[in-house]
Amino acid sequence: MARTKIVVTLGPATDNLGIIRRLIEKGADVFRLNFSHGTPEEHARRIAAIRKAAAGSPIAIIGDLCGPKIRCGRFANEPATLKEGNPFILTARAIEGTDGAVSVSYKRLPREVKRGDAIFLDDGNIELRAEEVSGPDIRCRVIRGGDLRSNKGINLPGTTLSIPALTPQDRRMIKFGVEQNLDYFALSFVKSPRDIYDARRLIRALGADTPIIAKIEKHEAVRDLEAIIEAADGALVARGDLGVEVPLEQVPLIQKRIIALCNRRAKPVITATQMLESMIEKARPTRAEAADIANAILDGTDAVMLSGETAVGKFPCEAVEIMDKIAQTAEENLDERRLLMEQLLPEEGNIPDAISQATAQMARSLNASAILCCSITGYTARFVARYRPPCPIAVFTLNPKIQRRLQVVWGVVPILMKEMKGSRKRDGFDAIIREAVKETLRKQIAKRGDRVIVTAGLPLGVGGATNMLRVLEI
């Protein structure tokens, strides 16, 4: 299997236990539930199916919050045809849509749009220009026309709206996700670190510590990118809305910047949207899609994500299998990235960072078969992984929650261990290492006679205290 993690979105095409099992067999590491669609009851059923299909494997589940997506209302007859040069009205009034007007889901929109603003519909396929705001109506001119259907998205790339990132629906789904013990929340339409802080306060008030992945898809987020990544637990390059919010030609460079910032901070990053879009209908991807996946991996992404390909596509299992093959091939050519990351100076005075860098360098220079990492919080594993060592990172943890969360981190094989008495003593630690070696051999991560690198924090039980490095012949 690839060391790059594969995130699979569930939907109607993959909504049964047998297919979920096949997706895991083909290489799925993480499942995404899109809370923009479906009821809590439907999502609860899918969560139960994932856990049954995983059969004890550490498969992670991400709850993707829908966020304040602004959408068109419903049309009386679909599709409505918007012709270039014609007038068109977006209105806060409750109306049935026609070729000349449609309602909007955000009723404050007319107060926040001004004359001359560009407005994009349906992922940028249709472009309007605001000419006049009159009460609840935004009177527009169609700049680029097309067919428009109900509930399509609305983007205003040059306008900052006051709508909060957390909607009442999101708050309900966070409560649902905490009750279901989800492993991550993906926060949509993040504009500033404050959005992350607001979501984290709610999660903590519910008695949970679920990590937050910031979806980068707003022009405001690009301006405040470093602070957002610092506040979040990871990031997702959401290229769909991002490609409408900023000029299209900037998206590849923004993607590279997001990945680089996450790598430097040892936070997982997921690259998403249209990675194998053609496989919604066809059994094989395009060459450009294969190159897109490979380049994201060479840039340093931890994970690549399938959306419509597995949610509604005709070939969901084949899409996972092909993505896994492309990833494996790309990973064979990571030497340049490894050398680049090894040149980064560890943060001054940061012992865990220095140990993690040394671990990856030693694994490379000693031709180690594996890195064995004992970790309470996953901190050490993330820092070792950012250097992209040329061997698997077997992470042994006592916490099943941390085990599942590490499924998003590149190259990590998370393994659950039972707590041992006396583990804070040196002989207790040696016993844990012996058990770790046995498990490494059992899972065929390494074999007898191989060299492995061991890293951990002593005494065990103190998170983020990595201070030990050892070379073993097993």
What's the pLDDT score for residue 421? 42
CATH number, domain 5-67+165-330, options 3.40.190.10, 3.30.470.20, 3.40.50.1370, 3.20.20.60: 3.20.20.60
Q: What gap in Å lies between CA 385 and CA 47, rounded to an integer?
A: 28
Looking at CATH, the fold of the domain delimited by 70-155 is given as M1 Pyruvate Kinase; Domain 3 (2.40.33)
353-359 — which CB contacts under 8 Å span 24+ positions?
353/383, 355/380, 355/455, 355/466, 355/467, 355/468, 355/469, 356/266, 356/380, 356/383, 356/384, 356/386, 356/387, 356/455, 356/466, 357/383, 357/387, 358/469, 359/384, 359/387, 359/389, 359/453, 359/455, 359/469
Chain segment 351-387, per-residue pLDDT in tens:
778 888 899 999 999 999 999 998 888 888 999 999 9
Is 215 considered catalytic here? yes
The model's pTM: 0.93
Q: What gap in Å lies between CA 88 and CA 129, rounded to an integer?
A: 9
* Residue limits of CATH 2.40.33.10 in the chain: 70-155
What's the pLDDT score for residue 343? 61
- Provide CATH code, domain 337-473: 3.40.1380.20
What's the pLDDT score for residue 462? 61
What's the pLDDT score for residue 206? 98
What's the pLDDT score for residue 420? 46
What's the pLDDT score for residue 352? 77
Which of 191, 200, 215, 239 is labelled catalytic? 215
Which of 51, 71, 264, 325 is labelled catalytic? 71
What's the pLDDT score for residue 465? 67
What's the pLDDT score for residue 348? 63
Is 26 considered catalytic here? no
* Residue limits of CATH 3.40.1380.20 in the chain: 337-473
Which of 273, 359, 455, 466 is labelled catalytic? 273
What's the pLDDT score for residue 335? 78
What's the pLDDT score for residue 143? 98
CB within 8 Å of 442: residues ≥ 6 apart: none
* Residue limits of CATH 3.20.20.60 in the chain: 5-67+165-330
| 370 bridge partner residues | 452
What's the pLDDT score for residue 231? 98
Q: What gap in Å lies between CA 91 and CA 109, rounded to an integer?
A: 8
Is 71 considered catalytic here? yes
What's the pLDDT score for residue 288? 98
In the chain, which residues have pLDDT < 50? 420-426
What's the pLDDT score for residue 376? 83
What's the pLDDT score for residue 336? 67
Is 455 considered catalytic here? no
Which of 5, 26, 32, 218 is labelled catalytic? 32
